Structure 1
Amino acid sequence: AEYYVRTIGALWAIETVILRIFNAYGPGQNLPVSHPPVIPRFLKQALGGGSLVVFGGGGQTRDFVYIDDVVDALVAAGTAPDVDRRVINVGSGLETSVTALVALISEITGRPMEVLHSPAESGGVSRLCADIAVARKLLKYEPRMNLADGLRLTLERDPRFQRQWPHPSTS
């Protein structure tokens, strides 16, 4: 897709910028039956009392970025100078292991979770973390939401979780 964006930009003489968005999450995120994103899947399983299936040992890492931070980067990219034909990573700039994510979700929801380990799926990388130096420089991008607060906001703002999770103001 990046190749096509660059080619169209060159052929039509228009400015283009490519944002590589890492593991974005937040309220309302789609939860398909096949290959659901890890955060809404784990939240749903934790609140529903189900077991969490972790593929591999749980040491694999990802860079989770809250949707509001992604929107900030998108808006900035639309008006920033000197971004034509650039590829810019958008993430939190922090690695979180699947094991650490499970522990954090358990702590936030107050629900102990049974973790089942399944063989690692093929094709996945063991570590993934955005280098956001270019985003910081060109977009003045600075992620504002840490993972714990982003998970809490997702639980508070997503209607799918509101009946299952007590809001801090009501607990």
Structure 2
Amino acid sequence: MKVLVTGAAGFIGTSLSNRLIKDGYEVIGLDDFSAGNPSGLMPEVKLTEAKINDQKKLWELLQGVDCVFHLAAKVIVPDSILYPREYEKINVGGTVTLLEAMRDVGINRMVFASSGAIYGIQDEQPLKETAKPKPASPYAVSKLASEYYINTIGRLWGLEAVCLRIFNAYGPGQKFSFAHAPVIPTFLKQAASMGTIVIHGDGNKTRDFIYIDDVVEALVAASKIDRPVELVINVGSGTETSVNEVLSLAKKITNGSPEVVYNQRRPGGPDRMCADITQAKTLLGFKPNVHLEDGMRMTHEFIERFRK
């Protein structure tokens, strides 16, 4: 089976591409390297540097492809608040460009990496797919708009697509920097080095953290659903964890005593997030296999191995 993975050099894209190669797939990768790093990809991945809005390149890469995994996107929430036009151009515009190219070439199957961020601030937890989206950032808006395009075009053009609303993915290989500091790798790195951990708010904000291998399992399973019609499925652990709880685990795993600074909370995110994964269990046969502490330990071991 031949597949195209957009955003192939990104955090999730790298793990997905490598898993598909191991499973015997022919993997065509596309990435503009604005955030991704190709060094983690297996050499069998046929990687092309190109932008997601390059329709001519998409026509070329889609030849003979059976399924598209669409992961390419800008993903930094604070950045999206400052530069919403860029997120509309790449996340939404890129999705539409890809859909047009798929139609032109005759490809009718897609798995889209959406985000749990589309739910925004909700009164009830855990979050079901039927909840009315209330996106709290331009990033979340861009993911929701892409879902609408995919499902609308699916009806009009006969596209078979599954949109996976992925919650807070983490694990080995996750990139972090001053501008983009995912909670788990940042806390582990700072705790291990006796550095400073900055928490925005009181630390009681919760998220649903899902290990990268479990995310990849869901993506692969979604590609095998028979004739999906406007399917939207949550992918998370089904467990709600506070930032303070992640901090405690980071200290335990690293035996570190970092300085912890509580700052004013930043706009653009809800106080609570937890995925209802009933539909993922039913339609994908999905079951999260990696508990948070185990996943954080493996992430810490990866960080330490490369730090040395």
Asked if residue 77 in structure 1 is aligned to residue 77 in structure 2, the reply is no
Match of 1:168 in 2: none
Higher relative CO (Cα under 8 Å, sequence separation at least 6) belongs to 1
Match of 2:158 in 1: 13
Match of 1:54 in 2: 199
Kept in 2, the 8 Å contact 1:83–1:138? The answer is: no
SS at match of 1:145: coil
Q: Give the aligned residue type for 2:290.
A: M
Alignment equivalent of 2:272, drawn from 122, 127, 139 = 127
TM-score w.r.t. the length of structure 2 is 0.51
Moved more, 61-70 or 36-45: 36-45
Match of 1:63 in 2: 208
Match of 2:233 in 1: 88
Distance in 1, Cα, partners of 2:306 & 2:160: 46
Match of 1:161 in 2: 304
Distance in 2, Cα, partners of 1:90 & 1:32: 25
Q: Give the aligned residue type for 1:62.
A: R
Asked if residue 38 in structure 1 is aligned to residue 183 in structure 2, the reply is yes
State the Cα deviation string for residues 42-88 of structure 1 (Å, max 9, x = none).
Answer: 11211221111011000010000000000110111111236421110
Distance in 2, Cα, partners of 1:83 & 1:113: 48
Between the aligned residues of both structures, percent identity stands at 51
> How many positions carry a matched residue from both structures?
163
C-alpha displacement at 1:163, in angstroms? 5.9
Moved more, 84-93 or 4-13: 4-13
Question: Where in structure 1 are there 5+ consecutive unaligned residues?
Answer: 166-171
Q: CA RMSD in A?
A: 1.6
SS at match of 2:223: helix
Distance in 1, Cα, partners of 2:244 & 2:162: 34
Question: Where in structure 2 are there 5+ consecutive unaligned residues?
Answer: 1-145
C-alpha displacement at 1:38, in angstroms? 1.0
Match of 1:28 in 2: 173
